[in-house]
Amino acid sequence: MSEEFKRTPEEWVEHYQKHYINTLTAEAASRIIKNDMTNVARSCISIGFHLKAVRDRELFREMGYGSLWEYAADQFGLSMSSASRYIAINDQFSVGGNTPQLQPEYRNFSKSQLQEMLNMSPEQIGQVTEDMTVKEIRKLKKPEAAEPEKKKPEENIPGQMEIKDFPEVLPEEDPVATSQQQEEWNEDSSCPPGIHQCIRQEWGTSPEQQNAGQKECAKCWSDYKKTRAALAGEKEQKKLPVYGLPLREYPEDSLIASSGCGTHDCFSCHQVGCAIRQKFCYCVEAPMANPFPCEMLDHVAELKSTKGNICQFVDRSKAYHRAGDREAVPCCKDCENLCEYACSRTKKALKEMGLPSPEETDQEAVQLSDKDLLQSMLDEAKGQLSEYLKVDKVEKLPEEMIRKKKILVGALAAMKCDLDNAEQDKPEKPEQPELPIMKNNDQRKEWLRNYRDWGLWYEDENIGVKYYKYDFENGARLIAEVYEGNERKRTFTAVYLHLVGGPEPPKHPKYGYGKWNRHERYDKHPDSETELVEFLKEVQK
């Protein structure tokens, strides 16, 4: 091994900081960066090609995904737009339009340059050189940005009226326009955002045609305003707190500073999901001079899925209720089912009293069954629907909002009904026979060959295979994979035995290797009968 590979991390840092950096020139740095960027461009072509292969052959289904976009997002963290961009770069700049090879004429281009050239015409692409910057390519692609005063003379018909002639249909200036709306707005168009083909261009020059065009344009803007107003109303509606009460507001000269809604103060409100919460909820033990937040409210979603209704923060009826307003005040110190999610103050109190923390106890965590979890989700959805209907009587909610919640309640109820029916029809599992005492290898081999006595585990009718299993007390599981069929007028049965889990095998005294192969998970390669005989010997020692 050469001496340079024996350097420590500290020596590498010293080498690059004291020697390499001092000899590096601007020209050399630019050349290295350019070379690395062109290598990235070649990688983009390969990534796009293989994404297309996964898409066209639906290889994502082999890994349990429903679409290419789910596969790309979960496996590589690529958004839909990023994955689409890789595919588009391969379509346009790979050899033949569908290979992992970059076209020779673009071998010195960077990824940023290729990406900027995606939507250019062939004539524009022909003008791009490898030494052009992205800004120069963008200017070449959109020359109108540099000369906005130039207009195409054929854009308007002579004598044709324009939208500017009708100020009553122009939109009011929106003082709170978002950056997204600004991006959608086309300065060269008189149409609302999102309208890319204006029928204004098809108006004729006669008074009748101009009048009809004016009405169409006014209707287009009217529909846009109504849609924007509806979206703004829906957005404002989502800002209601969990109680459906408006935000508490005070005059400018007011000395009162408690934040909340109606009669509820944020600092003492343990409700979750409030869209207008202004302050964190205090811990019930926090002094008013030095308040600190209740740390459990950040874990409510996790508590719902893992603990269900046994938790005070999920089922608030189990919590202490304040005198006067009868508001629920959940607290871990008052919990009868203390769990590993308990707050730090509760764990500290247990430690001071010499009691074990939830993590140190041997009690198994309560795991809800699918049926119980579905029931809790149904109860929660019903409660939310009930609250929606109460608020709707006072102030109308969007019809679509209530309709979605009704559909959710109906779907959950149907799922629970199906689960109940499935449990009734589910056959009872056969009991596993006791492992007999086997005194010699012949008896052990005979027991292995009588796998049908273990009981059928399940059958895959699609490929014609049956599985039998036997669970041992040491945690191991023996699986018999059985194929039966007819071939050339001859009936045959093929059996493959797989041992999964269990203890580590002892070493062979003479050869030093394990007496059988241990697999943590199911392996497609079967275990030999000789190895399994050694395993049975060890089991019955």
Check whether 420 has a pLDDT greater than 70.
yes
H or E element that contains 261: strand 260-261
Q: Residue for token digits 């737009």?
A: 81
321, two tokens: 């209720």
Per-domain residue ranges for the chain? 3-145, 159-237, 280-367, 382-425, 441-539
Residue 356 to residue 350: CA distance in whole angstroms: 7
Cβ(283)–Cβ(293) under 8 Å?
Answer: yes
**Longest CA–CA separation in the chain, Å:** 108
Q: Where does the pLDDT of residue 472 fall: very low under 50, low under 70, confident under 90, or very high at 90 and above? A: very high
Instruction: Compute φ and ψ for 282, nearest 5 degrees.
Output: -75, 150
Nearest to 54 by CA among 43, 44, 65, 45: 65
296, two tokens: 């459990």
The total of other beta-carbon atoms located within 10 Å of residue 290's CB is 6
Cβ(192)–Cβ(221) under 8 Å?
Answer: yes
Bridge partners of 499, per DSSP, are: 478
Name the most confidently modeled range: 95-109, 150-164, 171-185, 237-251.
95-109
Residue 505 to residue 535: CA distance in whole angstroms: 8
Residue 79 to residue 83: CA distance in whole angstroms: 6
What's the count of helices (H) and strands (E) in the chain, helices before strands?
A: 16, 8
**Which 3 state secondary structure label does DSSP give 339?**
coil
Burial state string for 123-153 with b = 16 or more CB within 10 A and e = fewer than 16: eebeebeeebeeeebeebbeeeeeeeeeeee
Is pLDDT larger for residue 188 or for residue 300? Answer: 300
Cβ(284)–Cβ(269) under 8 Å?
Answer: no
How many residues can be counted in the chain?
541
Give the list of residues 6+ apart from residue 522 with CB closer than 8 angstroms, or none.
Answer: 479, 498, 500
Q: How far from 398 is each of 230, 235, 383, 409, CA to CA, in Å?
A: 9, 11, 18, 17
Q: Where does the pLDDT of residue 445 fall: very low under 50, low under 70, confident under 90, or very high at 90 and above? A: very high
Instruction: Compute φ and ψ for 351, nearest 5 degrees.
Output: -65, -40
Determine the pLDDT at residue 469.
Answer: 93
Nearest to 60 by CA among 83, 39, 44: 83
Q: Residue for token digits 């005294």?
A: 509
Cβ(482)–Cβ(468) under 8 Å?
Answer: yes
Residue 292 to residue 286: CA distance in whole angstroms: 6
**pTM of the entire predicted model:** 0.29
Residue 46 to residue 95: CA distance in whole angstroms: 11
481, two tokens: 């994979």
Bridge partners of 94, per DSSP, are: 102
In three state form, how does the secondary structure of 451-511 look?
Answer: HHHHCEEEEECCCCEEEEEEECCCCCEEEEEEEEEEECCEEEEEEEEEEECCCCCCECCCC
Cβ(403)–Cβ(388) under 8 Å?
Answer: no
Determine the pLDDT at residue 163.
Answer: 44
Is pLDDT larger for residue 291 or for residue 366? Answer: 291
Instruction: Render pLDDT for 119-166 as a digit per residue (tens, 0 to 9).
Output: 788 888 888 888 888 888 888 876 654 444 444 444 444 444 444 444
Check whether 464 has a pLDDT greater than 70.
yes
N-term to C-term CA, the chain? 51
Count Cα neighbours of 10 within 13 Å in the Cβ-side half-sphere.
0
Determine the pLDDT at residue 183.
Answer: 37
* Residue ranges of E strands in 193-244: none
Question: What's the chain's average pLDDT?
Answer: 76
Instruction: Render pLDDT for 332-357 as a digit per residue (tens, 0 to 9).
Output: 888 877 887 888 888 888 788 777 76
How much of the chain is helix, strand and coil, in % rounded to 5? 50, 10, 40
Lowest mean pLDDT among 53-57, 323-327, 452-456: 323-327
H or E element that contains 446: helix 441-449
Determine the pLDDT at residue 471.
Answer: 93
Residue 301 to residue 341: CA distance in whole angstroms: 12
H or E element that contains 320: strand 320-321
Is pLDDT larger for residue 532 or for residue 134? Answer: 532
Check whether 81 has a pLDDT greater than 90.
no
Determine the pLDDT at residue 240.
Answer: 54
Determine the pLDDT at residue 143.
Answer: 61
